[in-house]
Homo-oligomer: A and B are copies of this chain.
Amino acid sequence: MTHQHTMVHARQQAGEHSHNRARMLISCPDRAGIVATVSRFLYEHGANIVQSDQYTMDPEGGMFFMRIEFDMEQLEERMTLLESDFQAIAEDFNMQWRISRVSQKQRLAIFVSKEDHCLVELLWQWQAGDLDADIAMVVSNHPDMKDYVESFGIPYVHIPVNPDNKPEAERLQLEAVEGKADVIILARYMQIISPKFIERYPNRIINIHHSFLPAFVGGKPYQQAFKRGVKLIGATAHYVTEELDGGPIIEQDVERVTHRADVNDLKRIGRTIERVVLARAVHWHTEDRILVYQNKTVVFN
């Protein structure tokens, strides 16, 4: 498919610059000297800090969060040493941390049902080189988008789901994604994910809910919004937890509506909000910009 190929160049280019770039994410109890210690560590290892963000929940006794983007010569070869050297600091400060190389793109599995707008958006952004990730596969309980997805050279895994085969369907889904996907995107996937599944991907399943949470939790949020007569409708991207629509919110946005809008208009207007909000959340996740703490997100964007 010609269209696909015209965009490959854009994606490759974006990748080249990031060859020696890494991102470090840290969460730990706040105390004096963290920034000094970490920045000294990086400096002594020859890293040049390109961007650094930090946030302290409460200067007295709160948590400290940090994201550092840095360049380092021969990064790939030196990663193992870098990580083992950092171990002592991490223990000293009681840190949760990880370093990831930018060139090692996260692999997405996109779950989708019948509504295709969020999938189409992600595929378009990926093609345009705007989404710095690999799309490992699309998983669906319907066969409808098989040809479309495969025309991008992306595997399409069709696993039907019905009230009787749910555990078996989830087993097949896990089999499909494990080892192949780092993060799961529920791009208007209309089935409930079981706690067992969620446990395997903690803070690594992103859902788009078609309302401004916590308003209109659950089913048919546009109908609920119509009934309540709200003047703005919204969408919310969040990590999936056991509580329905209750996980840490990554991003939200809204659009103005009037009394003239019926439920179909809300859905139409909402589709664009959903697309934009989900794409932003995926973008930030794949760039390691999100830290989760106590059911809330710190987003360094």
List chain B residues, Cβ under 8 A from A35: 35, 39, 43, 49, 52
Q: Is the CB of A213 within 8 A of B234?
A: no
Chain A residues numbered 2-56 whose CB sits less than 8 Å from any CB in chain B:
2-3, 6, 32-37, 39-40, 42-44, 46-56
| Residue of A56, A228, A229 ringed by the most chain B CB atoms within 10 A | A229
* 1/0 contact string of A163-196 vs chain B (CB within 8 Å): 0000000000000000000000000000000000
Q: A229 to B299, alpha carbons, bound, how many Å?
A: 11
* Stoichiometry (number of copies): 4
User: Given B3, B116, B124, B148, which contacts A147 in the complex, CB threshold below 8 Å?
Assistant: B3
Would you call A154 an interface residue if the criterion is a C-beta within 8 Å of the partner chain's C-beta atoms?
A: no
Binds B, one of A75-83, A90-98, A201-209, A248-256: A248-256
On whether the beta carbons of B251 and A228 are closer than 8 Å, the reply is no
Tell whether A230 pairs with B259 under 8 Å between CB atoms, given A48-B59, A51-B54. no
Q: Which residues of B contact A47 (CB under 8 A)?
A: 32
Given contacts A3-B145, A259-B298, contact A229 B215 (CB under 8 A): no
Are A232 and B253 neighbours in the complex by a CB distance under 8 Å? yes
Whether A144 and B2, one on each chain, are in contact in the complex, defined by CB atoms closer than 8 angstroms, is yes
Distance in angstroms from A298 CB to nearest chain B CB is 5
Confirm or deny: A128 has a beta carbon within 8 angstroms of a beta carbon on chain B. yes
Residues in B neighbouring A271, C-beta threshold 8 A = 128, 130
Q: Which of B1, B214, B229, B297 contacts A295 (CB 8 A)?
A: B229
How far does the alpha carbon of A165 sit from the alpha carbon of B37 in the complex, in Å? 60
Question: Whose C-beta in chain B lies nearest to the C-beta of A117?
Answer: B128
With beta carbons under 8 angstroms apart, the residue of B33, B42, B228, B297 that contacts A43 is B33
In Å, the complex CA distance between A55 and B147 comes to 43
Complex Cα–Cα for A216 and B42 (A): 42
Cβ distance A21 to chain B, nearest Cβ, rounded Å: 9
Contacts of A200 in B (CB 8 A): none
Contact A299/B259 with A42-B36, A59-B71, A117-B124 known, Cβ cut-off 8 Å: yes
Which chain A residues (211-259) contact chain B, with CB distance < 8 Å?
212-216, 228-232, 234, 248-254, 256, 258-259
Could you tell me the distance between the alpha carbons of A151 and B2 in the complex, rounded to whole angstroms? Answer: 11
**Residues A259 and B145 in contact in the complex (CB < 8 Å), given A54-B52, A229-B248, A249-B228:** no
10 nearest interchain CB pairs? Answer: A229-B296, A3-B148, A36-B43, A2-B147, A36-B39, A215-B215, A35-B39, A231-B252, A36-B40, A259-B298
Q: Name 8 extra pairs, CB < 8 A, besides A51-B54, A52-B52, A259-B298.
A: A2-B145, A50-B59, A52-B54, A130-B268, A229-B297, A230-B252, A231-B250, A272-B276
A-B contact pairs, 30 of them (CB 8 A): A3-B144, A3-B147, A6-B144, A32-B47, A33-B43, A34-B49, A35-B49, A39-B39, A49-B56, A51-B54, A51-B260, A52-B52, A52-B54, A55-B260, A116-B128, A120-B124, A151-B151, A212-B232, A213-B215, A213-B228, A214-B215, A214-B216, A214-B228, A214-B230, A229-B295, A231-B299, A232-B253, A254-B254, A256-B256, A259-B298
